[in-house]
Homo-oligomer: A and B are copies of this chain.
């Protein structure tokens, strides 16, 4: 599909992408960019890559697709550092969980460029970070939200969409603002709630492993995600997240009142609504 693909940042997502691109034969040559010497060395040893570079400019030269797999707060500065070295027909995308700020900055930056930036959010991941947990099937059957702006070239958009679909993903198009509003509810809020729950149980840390059931384990699983990554995501989607938080707090207030007022029929109705939502997720 591509002669050369550059994957920047071989963490869990980047390294999994290398494996998946290799497996699906989507590039003749895979170049990886890694910031640190150590990561670059590991990538060369452990991943099926053709070239590893520590200089961003060098890493993107000659590629038709560049995928930034670094934390959201680093995307804009990396785009700045590569823009002058991109091939004319190059498609640049990222895998960040927040899109408005990245896409707005990229739109400005790419105004005068012949290459294009189109944001992506492949909804795949794990609470286990890093190259060592890379998995060639990480993207399979997951959803990828693609967030083109109004001026996105339709051929380039089609090519990027097919790229994610060839990796086994279901693609959805959405504008960056809509993405951030919806994801604040469906992804960022759950993460925060999971973290708050884990945080509030901190005094039970020693006995929890023995006394808890699978329920607690599942509910706090995503709280194990990288604090650095998630602080960055929450910072970039602050306004939407605070709105989602407010809705959650209203629901929480409702259930607390039902319990303290001994309205256990009302509580049952409340729980029922939650269970309907849960069942619908897995239909």
Interface residues of A (CB under 8 A from B): 123-125, 127, 142-143, 145, 170, 172, 182-183, 185-187, 189-202, 204-205, 207-228, 230-232, 234-235, 238, 241-242, 244-245, 247-252, 254-256, 259-260, 262, 264-265, 267-283
- In the complex, the answer to whether B182 meets A189 with C-beta atoms within 8 Å is no
Distance between A219 CB and nearest chain B CB, rounded to angstroms: 4
Chain B positions within 8 Å of A201 at CB level: 185-186, 189, 277
Shortest CB-to-CB span from A257 to chain B, Å, is: 11
Option from B186, B190, B199 in Cβ contact (under 8 Å) with A274: B199
Given contacts A201-B186, A256-B242, contact A142 B213 (CB under 8 A): yes
Which of A187, A194, A276 gathers most chain B CB within 10 Å?
A194
| A182-B207, A213-B142 as given contacts; A199 in contact with B273, CB under 8 Å | yes
A269 — which chain B residues lie within 8 A by C-beta? 227
Q: Known interface pairs A186-B201, A273-B199. Does A255 touch B192 (Cβ–Cβ under 8 Å)?
A: yes
Work out how many copies of this chain go into the complex.
2
B143 contacts A210, C-beta separation under 8 Å: yes
With a cutoff of 8 Å between Cβ atoms, the chain B residues found around residue A192 in the complex are 255
Per DSSP, chain A at the interface is: helix
Q: Please determine whether B222 and A215 come into contact, CB atoms closer than 8 angstroms.
A: yes
Q: A231-B268, A264-B234 are in contact. Are A278 and B200 (CB under 8 A)?
A: no
Taking CB atoms, residues of chain B closer than 8 Å to A199 are 251, 254-255, 270, 273-274, 277
**Residue on B nearest A215 in the bound complex, by CB:** B222
A227-B282 in contact given A186-B208, A213-B142 (Cβ < 8 Å): no
B196 contacts A274, C-beta separation under 8 Å:
yes
Given contacts A196-B248, A218-B219, A220-B281, 5 further A-B contacts (CB under 8 A): A191-B215, A199-B254, A218-B218, A220-B278, A224-B275
Distance (whole angstroms) from the CB of A190 to the closest CB of chain B: 4
User: Do A213 and B283 touch across chains, with their CB atoms under 8 A apart?
Assistant: no
11 contacts between A and B (CB under 8 A): A190-B216, A190-B219, A200-B252, A202-B273, A216-B281, A219-B222, A227-B269, A227-B271, A234-B267, A238-B260, A249-B256
Which B residues touch A271, using CB under 8 A? 195, 223, 225, 227, 230-231
Which residue of B186, B220, B234 contacts A216 across the interface (Cβ within 8 Å)? B186
Given the contacts A224-B275, A242-B256, A197 and B186 also touching, CB distance less than 8 Å: no
A222 to B218, CA, bound (A): 8
B197 lies within 8 A of A248 (CB) = yes
A145 to nearest B CB, angstroms? 7
Is the CB–CB distance between B194 and A274 below 8 Å?
Answer: yes
Contacts of A252 in B (CB 8 A): 196, 200, 245, 249, 252
